[in-house]
Amino acid sequence: MSTPTPAGTDEAIRTATTGGVTAASLEARLETFERDLKELKTPKPKDRWDKLGAVSSLISGGLIALVGIGATALYNRATLEQQRQNQEASLRLQAAQTDAANALQRVQVIEKFFGHFVDKDSRVRSAALEVVAAIDPKLAASLGGYFRDAQAAPLLQQLSRSPNKETAALATSVLVSLQEPDRIKAIVNIFEIGQPNREYGQVTVIPGDTGHLTYGAAATTLGSGNLHWLIKAYTDQPGAIYGEALKEYLPRLEQRDVTLDQDPTFRTLLTKAGDDPIMQAQQDRFFDRVYFAPAQERARALGITTPLGLAVVYDSTVHGGFRAIQEKTTQELRGTPLTGVDERKWIATYVKNRREFLANNPNERLRRSVYRMDTFQQIINDGNWELKPPFSVRGFTIG
């Protein structure tokens, strides 16, 4: 017979044998586990950090793509730029090689024809220049200016109409420069003989003129002794048409015999000799040697370089009295263009001083010649220091 168990004893035994876990507590834990599992399966809403992480991933991917595209573009651009620079360098090299070849050709042409360019015969010089023009028109224009040969004028006029603008401009510039002495001389010719072109056979005797008989384009006078030297130079030339006839007058010319002023035979011979090309060439050379070359040297010594400045010096060299006015002007301005005085200021002051000298001169003929300085003053006022044509002198147009 068994002994009865006290109430609650079975529950206590179950608890002890299950480690203190009751059925109720197991059910409670199971419910908790199921609830946690359900929460885990349910997606949580993303917070700011989660969103930032997702966006950052997208941005990072975009930036990497953009950097790749930019790098590719820069590389392509650099490659194209390098190709362009290489192409330009190649073109410059080709141009330099072409220029070198052309320069060598020009040197060879000059070397071949140089002897002809300095030949005494103007026809030889002109022919050589024409040959060069057929090969290289631009070189011909340059050489025409370098050798400053009047015989080049017709060719330069032709080249000035060249379809090549560079050649035409160069030829025009050289032509203007080449004719500069002619324009300067034309001004003084107007002052001296009343017209721009020289009259090689003109014979004049002005009453009261201390020079007495004046002859030709050079306005060479008997009283100065220069007429003797001109006629002697003419009679010494082979082929002078009136050389023998004029030789017998040389002793009287050397003595400055003023009775020759009214010698009809002598005057007729001079007029006829003016048509002889040999006499014309002698007058040109004589005039340049006695007047123009000294005027150029005076201008150079003073630092005068403008065509108008040279024209002023040349006029005073022909007219006389240059040195006195030059010294007065230099003293007034405390120097010359060579020592730093502005050339235009020096020339303008010289013209002013010379006009005062002429206007107040006791010699009536000199007083009447103030128009020479008035003409120069007008050109100064016009600003034509280069004597660029056309310009007007006492009613004549110099072109």
- Given a cut of 90, whether residue 107 has pLDDT beyond it is no
Greater model confidence, 124 or 237: 237
Higher pLDDT, 62 or 266: 266
pLDDT-above-70 percentage for the chain: 75
State yes or no: pLDDT of 3 exceeds 80: no
Average confidence (pLDDT) over 303-330 = 95
Average pLDDT of the segment spanning 4-27: 51
Residue 140 clears pLDDT 70, i.e. is over it: yes
Q: What is the mean pLDDT of residues 309-329?
A: 95
Q: What is the mean pLDDT of residues 19-44?
A: 60
Q: Which CATH number fits domain 184-398: 3.40.50.880, 2.40.128.20, 1.20.141.10, 3.30.70.270?
A: 1.20.141.10
State residue 22's pLDDT score: 59
More confident residue, 39 or 133: 133
pLDDT band for position 399 (cuts 50, 70, 90): confident
* Residues written for the chain: 399
Q: Is the pTM value of this prediction over 0.85?
A: no
Q: Binning pLDDT at 50, 70 and 90, where does residue 241 land?
A: very high
Please write the tens of the pLDDT for every residue from 187-212. 998 998 788 887 899 898 878 777 89
Confidence check: pLDDT of 48 > 60: no
Distance of alpha carbon 191 from alpha carbon 188, whole angstroms: 5
- The secondary structure of the chain, three-state, reads CCCCCCCCHHHHHHHHHCCCCCHHHHHHHHHHHHHHHHHHHCCCCCCHHHHHHHHHHHHHHHHHHHHHHHHHHHHHHHHHHHHHHHHHHHHHHHHHHHHHHHHHHHHHHHHHHHHHHCCCCHHHHHHHHHHHHHHCHHHHHHHHHHCCCHHHHHHHHHHCCCCCHHHHHHHHHHHHHHCHHHHHHHHHHHHHHCCCCCCCCCEECCCCCCCCCEECCCCEECCCCHHHHHHHHHHCCCCCCCHHHHHCCHHHHHCCCHHHHHCHHHHHHHHHHCCCHHHHHHHHHHHHHHHHHHHHHHHHHHCCCCHHHHHHHHHHHHHCCHHHHHHHHHHHHCCCHHHCCCHHHHHHHHHHHHHHHHHCCCCHHHHHHHHHHHHHHHHHHHCCCCCCCCEEECCEEEC
Q: Where in the chain is the domain with CATH 1.20.141.10?
A: 184-398
Cβ density class 358-397: b for 16+ within 10 Å, e for less: beeeeeeebeebbebbebbeebbeeeebebeeebebeebe
Q: Which residue has the higher pLDDT, 378 or 14?
A: 378
Give the count of alpha carbons within 13 A of 270, CB side only. 32
pLDDT at 234 over 50: yes
Tell which wins on pLDDT, 307 or 117.
307
In this structure, what are the phi and psi dihedrals at residue 398, rounded to the nearest 5 degrees? Answer: -100, 115
The DSSP bridge partners found for residue 204 are: 214
Region 65-76 average pLDDT: 73
- Of residues 181 and 114, more confidently modeled: 181
Averaged confidence pLDDT in the chain: 81
Question: What's the mean pLDDT in 385-397?
Answer: 93
